[in-house]
Amino acid sequence: MSSKGRIFRVFRCPHCGYTGYRQVSHQNDDSLCNLCSNPISHSPEMRYVTTVDEARTEMQKIVVSGQKSKSRYGLGVKRRILNMVYDLSEFNKGNGVSRRRILEECKEADIDLDKAKRFLIQLEEEGLIIEIDDLLRVTQEDLAW
């Protein structure tokens, strides 16, 4: 991999079991897990790619490879937050929903606000939600992920 182009590290976190990807400058640079924020260091099982689409494909391969994730609860919370964005956006006639409103819903649902903020950032990084004019919207109508 060239150090001049974009490099994405695709990983399974050794701390929480989350499967994700992060952009790094070099393979030897540490990154942080998207879910638990623990450091991820280079190891032989890491995969490196140059585009977001390749990173998503590699993530899917890791997930399908049969290794069980320890983060089942966290992924359920992430899905709930994605559903909140979708439902509240639809309730607002498809015009999106403010981040503040999503966090209010998370608070009412007893979802830790720091975790909710991390998941919102993660959902944006993964391209599942976008923010336009300070309003969040789901990018895919079917929510099948």
Does any domain span residue 1?
Answer: no
Segments forming the whole domain that contains residue 82: 72-138
> Which of the pair, 63 or 141, is modelled with greater confidence?
63
In terms of average pLDDT, the best of 16-20, 33-37, 70-74, 93-97 is: 93-97
For residue 108, which amino acid is it?
Answer: E
Whether 115 and 102 have beta carbons less than 8 Å apart is answered as no
> Distance (Å, rounded) from C-alpha 73 to C-alpha 19?
14
Are residue 91 and residue 43 in the same domain, yes or no? no
Does any domain span residue 144?
Answer: no
Q: Helix or strand or coil: residue 144?
A: coil
Q: How much of the chain, in percent, has pLDDT values that exceed 90?
A: 28
> Distance (Å, rounded) from C-alpha 41 to C-alpha 108?
36
pLDDT reported for residue 12 = 85
User: What's the total number of domains in the chain?
Assistant: 2
Q: Strand pairing partners for 31? A: 40
Residue 142, token pair as written in the block: 């079917």
Are residue 23 and residue 60 in the same domain, yes or no? yes
Instruction: Return the CATH number at 86.
Output: 1.10.10
Residue 113, token pair as written in the block: 């606000």
Does any domain span residue 143?
Answer: no
Where does a domain end: 64, 91, 113?
Answer: 64
Are residue 97 and residue 119 in the same domain, yes or no? yes
89-106 confidence digits (pLDDT tens): 888 888 899 999 999 989
Are residue 83 and residue 27 in the same domain, yes or no? no
pLDDT reported for residue 38 = 83
> Distance (Å, rounded) from C-alpha 36 to C-alpha 38?
6
> Distance (Å, rounded) from C-alpha 119 to C-alpha 74?
9
Judged against a pLDDT cut of 90, whether residue 8 lies above it is answered with yes
For residue 92, which amino acid is it?
Answer: N
Q: How many CB atoms lie within 10 A of CB 138?
A: 22
Give, in degrees to the nearest 5, the angle at Cα 127 between 143 and 57.
85
Residues 6+ apart with CB under 8 A from 106: 81, 84, 112, 113, 116
Are residue 56 and residue 79 in the same domain, yes or no? no
Does any domain span residue 104?
Answer: yes
pLDDT reported for residue 70 = 44
Does any domain span residue 2?
Answer: no
What confidence category does residue 5 fall into, taking pLDDT thresholds of 50, 70 and 90? Answer: confident
Are residue 59 and residue 13 in the same domain, yes or no? yes
